[in-house]
Amino acid sequence: MMWMFDMTLWKLYALLAALFAALTAIFAKIGIEGIDSNLATGIRTIVILVLIWGIVFVTVPLAEMKSLNITNWTFLILSGLATGLSWMFFFKAMQLGPVSQVASIDKLSIVLTIVLSFVILGETVTWQVVLGGLLITAGTLCMLWK
């Protein structure tokens, strides 16, 4: 059977990211029960630090680490701050609400990313991307409809 879509390596990685993001939400909902959401985020962050730095030390040549410039540092630090805030708010929302609805709202980040990639990065937005963003928004609204 022929694939409907081209399965390039970046798409496989993106699908794996989606799978692990889903598992993150499920595992976090179970693990956060009865504890402060910031404590849960802190524990998770330590695990991520150990995992990622272990991978970096094994796979990234030292010369590449030395080649980081001010732009790399600035925007990676900003990205890290945004990630930390996202996790804190995500965990707090998961502590208070149903994981299916919290995750759905969280996925509106896709729509925001589309808009920001157009405005800030100048990426081309096709009708397929706009339609996909509208469907994600509609799907989120459907999941939240009471």
Q: Are residues 79 and 23 in the same domain?
A: yes
| Domain identity same for 83 and 113 | no
SS (HEC) of the chain: CCCCCCCCHHHHHHHHHHHHHHHHHHHHHHHCCCCCHHHHHHHHHHHHHHHHHHHHHHHCCHHHHHCCCHHHHHHHHHHHHHHHHHHHHHHHHHHHCCHHHHHHHHCHHHHHHHHHHHHCCCCCCCHHHHHHHHHHHHHHHHHHCC
Give me the number of domains the chain comprises: 2
pLDDT tens-place values along the chain, 146 residues long: 445 666 688 888 888 888 998 898 899 999 999 999 999 999 999 999 999 999 999 999 988 988 999 999 999 999 999 999 999 999 999 999 998 899 889 989 999 999 999 999 999 999 999 999 999 999 999 988 86
d(CA 48, CA 93): 21
Stated pTM of the model = 0.78
State the Cα angle at 95 between 16 and 112, rounded to 5°. Answer: 50
Residues 85, 24 share a domain: yes
Shared domain check, 39 and 70: yes
The pLDDT score that the predictor gives to residue 1 is 46
Q: What is the structure's pLDDT at 11? A: 86
To the nearest 10°, report the CA torsion of 17, 85, 108, 93: 100
- Identity of the residue numbered 40: A
Question: Scanning the structure block, which residue is given the tokens 């540092």?
Answer: 73
Examine the domain organization and report whether 80 and 34 are in the same domain. Answer: yes
User: What's the domain range around 28?
Assistant: 12-95
User: Is 61 in the same domain as 121?
Assistant: no
Do 80 and 113 lie in a common domain? no
